[in-house]
Structure formats: C-alpha cells, structure tokens
Amino acid sequence: MSLQAAGRRSLVDDAIDQLRAQLTAGTWPVGSRIPSESVIAERLRVGRNTVREAIRVLAHAGMLESLQGDGTYVRSTTDPGDLIRQIEHADLRDIFEMRRALDVEAARLAAQRRDVDDLLRIRTALAGRGAADGSADSPEPHDFDRGDVPEGELDDLVECDVAFHTAIAVASHNSAMVKTYQWFSDSLWRSIRTVVGDGTLPDASHALHVALADAIEASDPDAAEAAVRQILEPAVIALDALLAPRDQPRERSPEHRQAHHRPHDRSNEHQPPHHSEHGA
C-alpha cells in the first residue's frame, strides 16, 4: 500500500484517511517513527499544514504521538473509528451546540478555580489571539474571506483561538473536560475552518474574548458564561439563517399553511378540492 495524491473532497480528511489506512494496515508498526511531515506532504501533494493537522487528529485519537524535536511515532494501529467519525460528520449546528456546552461550563469552572498560572496561560493565549486577529481593535464580529486574507492568517487565528479556549478548559481543573476539549477542538477546527474562511460564519470580536478573560480573572462565573454566549452568538445566528431554507419545508407556520391552501381566485371554487403533495 502506498500513499497517493490527495483528492478534492477535503485535503485534511483525505490525509487523515490515508494515514489511518497506513496505520491500520501495519505499514508503520507500533513504536516506529513515521516519515517526516515534508516527506508525507510531498507524497500526498498537499501542504505541510494539512499534514500537521491530520497528524494532530490521529494523535488525539491515540494512534500517533508527536515528540518535539524527535518526530512522530506510532502508538496504536487500532482505529478508534466509529465515535470519531460520528463527531467528524456531525451537523455543523450540532458541533456548535456541543462547543457552547463545553465552553460555558469550562468558563464557569475556570472563574471559580483559576490560579495565577492559569491566568498567565490565558493571558498569553489571549495576546497570541489578538496578534493573529487583524480586526482585534474592532468591537464588532467580522467576516473572513479567504480571498482577502493572506495565506495562513486565518489558520493562525483559528489555532490561537483554540489555544485560548483550551487554556480556559485547563483552568477548570477538570481533567476529563480538558481531554474532551482538546480532542473535540480538532473536529471543531476542521468544521469551521472552511466555513469561516468562505465568509459564511462571522468570527466573534476579540473584545469579547478579552471580556471573557477579564471575567475569569475577576472570579465571576456568570459574567464568564455571558461572554462565552456572546462569543458564539454571531456564528449560531448565522448558522440558523443559513439552515433556515433547509428547515422551512419541515416547520411551516400556520400562516404559511393557510396561504398554501388558499385559492388564488374564484374560478377554482367549483373545481375539485386541491390536495397538496403531502395529502393535507
């Protein structure tokens, strides 16, 4: 089995699938070091960032482990599969709902439990996020258009945003939450990266992220929760608007149903009753 050029479906998903196939086939035995990112990128004909993201996903799945300065090693050839694929293919709205639940609870716990080291970690991640956000001085949500953003800038912002929220999860001092958030963040990253990059979803203002950090430092769980909800609200509203046309046929209002059955003119009053395709 050999690596092939990645297709158009999704470069990251293709890279994940091919690397996972190599692992489950035993091409790289447990304990062995896989080829370098540059070698894999050349064989897949993708960028190193794509390979790095695919490796991170498989590392969170427990199949790989990256050792800084040494390389990436195989830790398991067993595909954890079903649960991961269910999350990866979940509806984007479901993913944001899950993120909201995680972020809200993490923020509340962080506001109650954070220590000095936690605050330093959060503030450092916040500064990195601000540096990566070209609209950091604006209090308003903003849209990204990949055509107007220098290559890598959007990816840097998403990575810094994940680092900031992960730092908050760490400050919750709940080990299960930290592990869940670290793993789930990869599904979230892959889901929003293209959508935000295409301008479909706005990114919350950096000012709201500052407010969240301030609330945690002030030990105010209610304010922290409010900030999290404000951060996610622009994307949730945009998602609801985006999905409304799809939902409309399933959830017609009484006014819509009444209009649907109202005759257009009196010429129909002696005709047989009209039946919709739903038999109503």
pLDDT in tens, 34-48: 999 999 999 999 999
Tokens standing for 105? 């609870």
- Is 29 domain-assigned? yes
Q: 52 and 15, same structural domain?
A: yes
Q: 103 and 220, same structural domain?
A: yes
Tokens standing for 84? 């991961």
Q: 97 and 28, same structural domain?
A: no
- Is 66 domain-assigned? yes
Distance CA(133)–CA(153), nearest Å, equals 8
Q: 132 and 75, same structural domain?
A: no
Q: 122 and 19, same structural domain?
A: no
Q: What pLDDT score was predicted for residue 12? A: 87
Q: What pLDDT score was predicted for residue 108? A: 97
Q: 25 and 72, same structural domain?
A: yes
Q: Which residue range(s) make up the domain with 72?
A: 11-82
- Is 256 domain-assigned? no
Residue 258's φ and ψ, nearest 5 degrees, are -65, -45
pLDDT digits (tens, 9 = 90+) for 172-186: 999 999 888 877 776
Tokens standing for 146? 């990949």
Q: What pLDDT score was predicted for residue 85? A: 56
pLDDT digits (tens, 9 = 90+) for 191-245: 556 555 556 667 778 889 999 999 999 999 999 999 999 988 877 777 777 666 5
Q: 139 and 222, same structural domain?
A: yes
How many folded domains does the chain comprise?
A: 2
- Is 272 domain-assigned? no
Of the candidates 42, 53, 73, 65, the residue with the CA atom closest to the CA atom of residue 13: 53
- Is 263 domain-assigned? no
Q: 114 and 35, same structural domain?
A: no
What is the separation of C-alpha 55 from the centre of its chain, rounded to a whole number of angstroms? 17
Q: 54 and 183, same structural domain?
A: no
Q: 133 and 64, same structural domain?
A: no
Q: What pLDDT score was predicted for residue 267? A: 42
Residue 207: give its domain's CATH number. 1.20.120.530
pLDDT at 74 over 60: yes
Q: 55 and 112, same structural domain?
A: no
pTM of the prediction?
0.56
- Is 137 domain-assigned? yes
- Is 249 domain-assigned? no
Tokens 């963040």, located at residue: 185
- Is 129 domain-assigned? yes
Residue 78: give its domain's CATH number. 1.10.10.10
Distance CA(257)–CA(255), nearest Å, equals 5
